[in-house]
Amino acid sequence: MKARKLAASPLIIVAAPDYLARHEAPHCAEDLAGHNCLMRRDAGSWKLRGLDGEVRDFKATGSFASDSAEAITEVVLSGHGIARKCKWEIVEHLESGRLVQLLEDYTVVPEWSVFAVRSPSHVVPTRVKAFTDFLKARFQGEKAFTES
């Protein structure tokens, strides 16, 4: 298969205002240790790169883990903790104020991307190239696929 990168898919740390009203917001990566982290079952370790370029590896712990990204979104929206989410999944909640981005001076690593994948033939059909060009242009214009 051949893959073409279409866009970055930044991960960000978020919480609901409800949660932040009951718990002081973390100011640095190390502060996450005192919070209820809502996580995917396969992502118990969160890595954050600070402005200094140093990557901090944090063992996330909390009362909720799931294989479902949607379930984690619902739990974070209900004010039960802090979550690491793809920005595109929750951009409408950020814009409405239902979620707040935390630790904006940090980048979650590894950074994720969105790819178009196609068969490995040497000749790319015009319609496939046109569609992937369209998607790439569309993603570049979307706030959800740009760095915070």
Query: Does residue 132 belong to any structural domain of this protein?
Result: no
- Is the pLDDT score of 9 beyond 70? yes
Helix (H) or strand (E) holding 140: helix 126-141
Residue 98 inside a domain? The answer is yes
Supply the pLDDT for residue 146: 64
Mean pLDDT over residues 15-27, rounded?
97
pLDDT in tens, 32-76: 998 999 988 776 789 999 999 999 988 888 999 999 999 999 999
How many CB atoms are closer than 10 A to CB 11?
21
The reply to whether 47 falls in a domain is yes
Query: Are 146 and 114 a contacting pair, CB within 8 Å?
Result: no
68 domain residue, yes or no: yes
101-137 pLDDT, tens digit per residue, is 999 999 999 878 888 898 888 888 889 889 888 888 8
Of 33, 49, 39, 29, residue with least CA distance to 102: 29
Residue 81 in domain: yes
Q: How many domains is the chain partitioned into structurally?
A: 1
What phi, psi does 108 have (nearest 5°)? -75, 130
Instruction: Report the CATH number at residue 22.
Output: 3.40.190.290
Task: Assess if residue 41 is contained within a domain.
Answer: yes
Does the residue 135 lie in any domain?
no
The answer as to whether 94 is a domain residue is: yes
Query: Which domain, by its residues, includes 35?
Result: 10-112
What Cα–Cα distance (Å) separates residue 4 from each residue in 25, 113, 119, 132, 144?
38, 10, 11, 8, 19
